[in-house]
A and B are shown apart, each in its own frame.
Chain A
Amino acid sequence: MAVTKPSGVPQGPAPGYPDPHVEYVLRHGDDNLILAQRLSDWISKAPDLEVDIALGNIGLDHLGAARALLTQAGELEGSGRSEDDLAMFRNERQFKNLILVEQPNGDFATTIARSLFFDAYQVPLWRELSSSDDEVLAGVAQKGAMEARYHLLHSKQWSVRLGDGTEESHARMQTAVDQLWRFTDEMFIADLVDMEMAEAGIGIDPSTLAGEWRGNVTEALDEADLTVPTDEYQRWGGRQGFHSDHLGHVLGEMQWLQKSYPGLAW
């Protein structure tokens, strides 16, 4: 895929974690945490009860993965920080999730397109990380691989229903796909952390996932009668803590109680 990297992303090291292993585990933990936070916002507001339950369950899967990975990051870091310390007391620059997952839920089509793109990434990602030398990461990946296949099935089915359904749903789905497309290349950009972790047998080179992702997404969009975008503009930088404006609001809400009353048991 031709990647047009926009200028403006700071090239220096991001604030945070000098240890690439901690950094790597956090990145994937943060993807899951932020997506869980977004998906859980649908609970009690979805188009019908079945969808409500499905989005909540998928959110719970992501939250489970996030908790295991943040706990592991804290262990690796060795300074005694818990999953909650990492979730509740880091700022925007210290979160390392993909910009894609912090994008607002929008209408249901936007949520589905975001999930389609992310699920199609997580299926091969978790499969490959299942044999990571980091046993905790491998365990999360093994469980996640099964979950991600179901998530992808769900987002694919809905993409097809919306793309193929009515004129309105088709238009909404195409708009969502077009608008979120610019956040997809970021998933496959390898930086020094990725390369070092791939070398160490802990991580993988994300650029190797692009082919399978593109195949799955193209298949879903074709079946949904939707056009695969050709927009070459791509926004990236989440892995370096260079997010969109949305993340601060997600964190503001998620962290509010802990920051208002720090140091208490809940």
Chain B
Amino acid sequence: MTTTQTRPEVDPADLFQAIIDAEQKIEPHDWMPDAYRKTLIRQIAQHAHSEVIGMQPEANWISRAPTLHRKAILMAKVQDEAGHGLYLYAAAETLGITRDEMMELLHAGKHKYSSIFNYPTLSWADMGTIGWLVDGAAITNQVMLQRASYGPYSRAMVRICKEESFHQRQGFDILLTMMMGGSEAQREMVQDAVNRWWWPSLMMFGPNDSESTHTEQSMAWKIKRVSNDDLRQQFIDMTVEQSKVLGVTLPDPDLRWNEERGHYDFGEIDWDEFWAVVKGNGPMNRERIENKAGAWDDGAWVREAALAHSAKKRRVS
């Protein structure tokens, strides 16, 4: 194509801002500030790693699922999470990083993943509680991300959200079955699981807005559309109602309805625990990465074989 007319010079930074302001999507080949690209890579990779590391605590119960129906659902759910990982790695790759590079960074401890997956799954009720609380918190976050300004990320989130509501429902259903038809032993399992997962799931929304280093810029770029504290409040308001249906007690004595605010008040989160887990000192951080990196290393010969085979085939044809 030959262009003869001269176009007025447009500053790419202005164009970028105009696209953001107009609620349009930034696409991979558009100009974008370096910091926007870096922030997205960090966030999308972290999100992808969370999907993939998050497979471990649930895969832990596939072989021991109490019924074949539950086994099938759990397998399908964990498969979904692997699929979410794939969509998100693909979205991150549009920003100029490869999946292998992201894996290496994860295994080296240079990329993070959601701290929620650094807790063990100790009973079958944990499968229900993860679906109910952890997928529930993830959905709250992801619904917002469907409107993120980066096109590939936003579209990945739309696909993911479609599957997530099934995840939460199956979790709730596990707990409801154990609470309603069940024995004292089952109700104890559920209450214990909720006690263990409640606070960590509130931590999934990240530090308070006043402490969050990334929030302001991410909101300006419209990557993030709602603040950590607002999302957390949304989640709590929704979940407290559901806990009443289940008949479980949420382990927070300060939890009560605040007529004036129109929200539930809740107690102080143990931020020392949060930061300890984020920094690698949670109960399962070491195992999660050792398992992940171990499986990756164990599979190296398989990936090498596949590459060698396709190289040979190319040479022949």
Chain A interface (Cβ within 8 Å of chain B)? Answer: 33, 37, 40-41, 43-53, 56-57, 59-60, 63-64, 66-67, 70, 83-84, 87-88, 107-108, 160-162, 164-166, 168-169, 172, 253-254, 256-258, 261, 264-266
B173 to chain A, nearest CB (A): 10
B191 to chain A, nearest CB (A): 16
The SS class assigned to the B binding surface is helix
Q: Which of B68, B303, B305 contacts A63 (CB under 8 A)?
A: B68
Q: Which residues from B are CB-within-8-Å of A166?
A: 301, 304-305, 308
Q: Which of B104-112, B140-148, B176-184, B219-227 contacts A (4 or more CB under 8 A)?
A: B176-184
Q: Which residues from B are CB-within-8-Å of A169?
A: 301-302, 304-305, 308
Q: Which of B67, B174, B307 contacts A84 (CB under 8 A)?
A: B67
Given contacts A47-B302, A266-B178, contact A258 B66 (CB under 8 A): yes
Q: How far is the CA of A265 from the CA of B76 in the complex (A)?
A: 21
B178, A46: Cβ atoms closer than 8 Å: no
The 0/1 profile, CB within 8 Å of A marked 1, for residues 294-310 of chain B is 01101111111111111
Tally of A-B residue pairs with Cβ under 8 A?
141
Beyond the given A48-B299, A53-B82, A53-B83, please list 7 additional residue pairs across the A-B interface where CB-CB is below 8 A. Answer: A44-B56, A47-B302, A48-B302, A51-B299, A257-B66, A265-B182, A266-B67
A selection of 21 A-B contacts at a CB cut-off of 8 Å is A40-B62, A40-B63, A43-B59, A47-B300, A47-B303, A48-B299, A52-B55, A53-B82, A56-B75, A60-B75, A88-B66, A88-B67, A161-B309, A164-B305, A164-B312, A169-B308, A253-B64, A258-B66, A258-B67, A265-B181, A266-B174
Q: Which residues from A are CB-within-8-Å of B296?
A: 47
A264, B62: Cβ atoms closer than 8 Å: no
Kindly identify, within residues 261 to 307 of chain B, every residue whose CB is under 8 Å from any CB belonging to chain A: 291, 295-296, 298-307
Q: Which residues from B are CB-within-8-Å of A258?
A: 66-67
Q: How far is the CA of A48 from the CA of B71 in the complex (A)?
A: 22
Q: Which residues from A are CB-within-8-Å of B174?
A: 266
Q: How far is the CA of A40 from the CA of B182 in the complex (A)?
A: 27
Is B79 among interface residues, defined by CB-CB distance under 8 A?
yes
Is B47 among interface residues, defined by CB-CB distance under 8 A?
no
Q: Which of A45, A57, A253 contacts B295 (CB under 8 A)?
A: A45
Q: Which of A60, A70, A165, A266 contacts B308 (CB under 8 A)?
A: A165
B45 to chain A, nearest CB (A): 14
- Using CB atoms, name the residue of chain B closest to A261: B185
Q: Which residues from B are CB-within-8-Å of A37?
A: 63
Is B124 among interface residues, defined by CB-CB distance under 8 A?
yes
- Using CB atoms, name the residue of chain B closest to A33: B68
- Using CB atoms, name the residue of chain A closest to B180: A265
Q: How far is the CA of A40 from the CA of B58 in the complex (A)?
A: 12
A261, B183: Cβ atoms closer than 8 Å: yes
Number of B interface residues, CB 8 Å? 50
Q: How far is the CA of A59 from the CA of B89 in the complex (A)?
A: 25
Is B234 among interface residues, defined by CB-CB distance under 8 A?
no
B63, A41: Cβ atoms closer than 8 Å: yes
Interface centre among B62, B182, B183 (most CB of A within 10 A): B62
Kindly identify, within residues 41 to 81 of chain B, every residue whose CB is under 8 Å from any CB belonging to chain A: 52, 55-56, 59, 62-72, 75-76, 78-79
Q: How far is the CA of A264 from the CA of B125 in the complex (A)?
A: 14
Q: Which residues from B are CB-within-8-Å of A52?
A: 55, 82
Q: Which residues from A are CB-within-8-Å of B83?
A: 53
A60, B305: Cβ atoms closer than 8 Å: no
Q: Which residues from B are CB-within-8-Å of A63?
A: 68, 71-72, 75
The 5 closest A-B pairs by CB, nearest first: A47-B299, A165-B305, A169-B305, A266-B66, A265-B181
Q: How far is the CA of A169 from the CA of B305 in the complex (A)?
A: 6
Q: How far is the CA of A162 from the CA of B307 in the complex (A)?
A: 10
Q: How far is the CA of A161 from the CA of B79 in the complex (A)?
A: 24
Kindly identify, within residues 73 to 106 of chain B, every residue whose CB is under 8 Å from any CB belonging to chain A: 75-76, 78-79, 82-83, 85-86, 89
Q: How far is the CA of A47 from the CA of B124 in the complex (A)?
A: 27
A165 to chain B, nearest CB (A): 3
Is B186 among interface residues, defined by CB-CB distance under 8 A?
yes
Q: Which residues from B are CB-within-8-Å of A108?
A: 299, 302
Q: Which residues from A are CB-within-8-Å of B66?
A: 88, 257-258, 266
B70, A266: Cβ atoms closer than 8 Å: yes
Q: Which residues from A are CB-within-8-Å of B300?
A: 47
A162 to chain B, nearest CB (A): 5
- Using CB atoms, name the residue of chain B closest to A263: B183
Q: Which residues from B are CB-within-8-Å of A70?
A: 68
- Using CB atoms, name the residue of chain A closest to B76: A60
Given contacts A49-B85, A67-B68, A165-B306, contact A56 B78 (CB under 8 A): yes
Given contacts A256-B64, A265-B177, A266-B124, contact A43 B79 (CB under 8 A): yes
A261 to chain B, nearest CB (A): 6
A250 to chain B, nearest CB (A): 8
Q: How far is the CA of A87 from the CA of B72 in the complex (A)?
A: 14
The 0/1 profile, CB within 8 Å of A marked 1, for residues 155-191 of chain B is 0000000000000000000100110011101100000
A89 to chain B, nearest CB (A): 12
Q: Which residues from B are CB-within-8-Å of A161?
A: 305-306, 309-310
Q: Which of A44, A64, A84, A107 contacts B78 (CB under 8 A)?
A: A44
- Using CB atoms, name the residue of chain A closest to B59: A44
